[in-house]
Amino acid sequence: MSTWWTSPSSSNPRLTEPYPGRLGRPFFISGDEMTKSPFHESPVMPEMFDGEKPINFRCGKGISCFNACCKSADISLTPYDIVRLKKHLGISSSEFLDRHTVPYEMEKDGLAGVKLKPAEGGTACPFVTEEGCSVYEDRPTACRYYPLAHLSMRKQDEYVDRSGYALVVEKHCLGHFEEREILVDDYRKEQDLEQYDEASRGWRQLILKKKSSGPSIGNPSRRSLQLFFTACYDIDRFRDFVYSDGFIMLFDLPEEEYLGFEEDDKLLEFSYRFLRQVLFGENTIPLREEIADARRDRALRRRSMDGMEEE
């Protein structure tokens, strides 16, 4: 079983525990030990549950701990989070990554994640103000989920991922003592999380497949890791890549699909298809016939030469 979290005190984060006083993040669990709790000694309660679970929680300016969770925040971002935030700020994805994020490793020598860079000289979220969140309409998934931890799970013999939830109880948060009971599913609807989770489903599936496959697929090449980072997190740069002459000459895509790539959401969906081909060798995007023929010929020649060498 494996989970991933990020440590704000490390310049090269590994698999670590969440720190008290920090916003929760999504979790990815793979393998056959899913019945064991991944939380150990952390503010995440050891009980995992589904969307029918009632929780007691309210957040708002009228509560004395308002903004406390944002003053010491360690927030991992999904690709869709970046799309929403860069649009809100009116900048490109490349500018957003440069100004507001730091990369980290989700696993040793593996796929990269991105987390929000804290305000200069401190640990607070760069978008928090005395009045609350300055990007509230487009706030990240982790902020919307709080005080819940979202778990994406897949066993090694399964091809679909499952979701579960856990409650994050931190000493500074008084929202748990408010007289308001709400089902997890209703809380997710209230926070517009269905849209966010659906937009990030392809990204989660990539990570879960990489984790559940283990050493069977080998380590991705440096080029593959670079493509993963660009396709997931730097959507405007990825658009330049798919509009390049080299890409258009290689892949056989209809013109209407290319026209759809002007929309970030559609391009993001395509990026996950592209990465399944890059990382796992799936035939998700057709090659132009002449390119496919040339590759088959090269493969046949290689096999023929290998046979001659064996003789």
Strands 27-30 and 148-154: parallel
Residue 47's pLDDT is 85
Q: What's the pLDDT score for residue 296? A: 60
Half-sphere exposure of 250 (CA within 13 A, CB side): 10
Does residue 147 contact residue 169 with C-beta atoms inside 8 Å? Answer: yes
How many angstroms separate the CA atoms of 311 and 153, rounded?
48
Q: Would you state the pLDDT for residue 108?
A: 75
Task: Write out the chain's pLDDT in tens, 311 residues.
Answer: 222 332 222 333 322 233 333 444 455 544 443 444 444 445 766 689 999 999 999 999 999 999 999 998 899 999 999 999 999 999 999 999 999 999 999 877 689 999 999 999 899 999 999 999 999 999 999 999 999 999 887 666 666 677 899 999 999 999 999 999 999 999 999 999 999 999 999 999 999 888 877 666 778 899 999 999 999 999 999 999 999 999 999 999 999 999 999 999 999 999 999 999 999 999 999 988 877 666 566 656 665 655 555 55
Domain boundaries, the chain: 27-198, 220-289
> Rounded to whole angstroms, how far apart are CA atoms 183 and 189?
10
Instruction: Return the pLDDT at 27.
Output: 53
Residue listed under structure tokens 């809100």: 88
Q: Is 50 helix (H, G, I), strand (E, B) or coil?
A: coil
pLDDT recorded at residue 299 = 56
Res 289: pLDDT: 84
What does the pLDDT read at residue 10? 31
Global pTM?
0.82
- Judge contact between 310 and 276, C-beta under 8 A: no
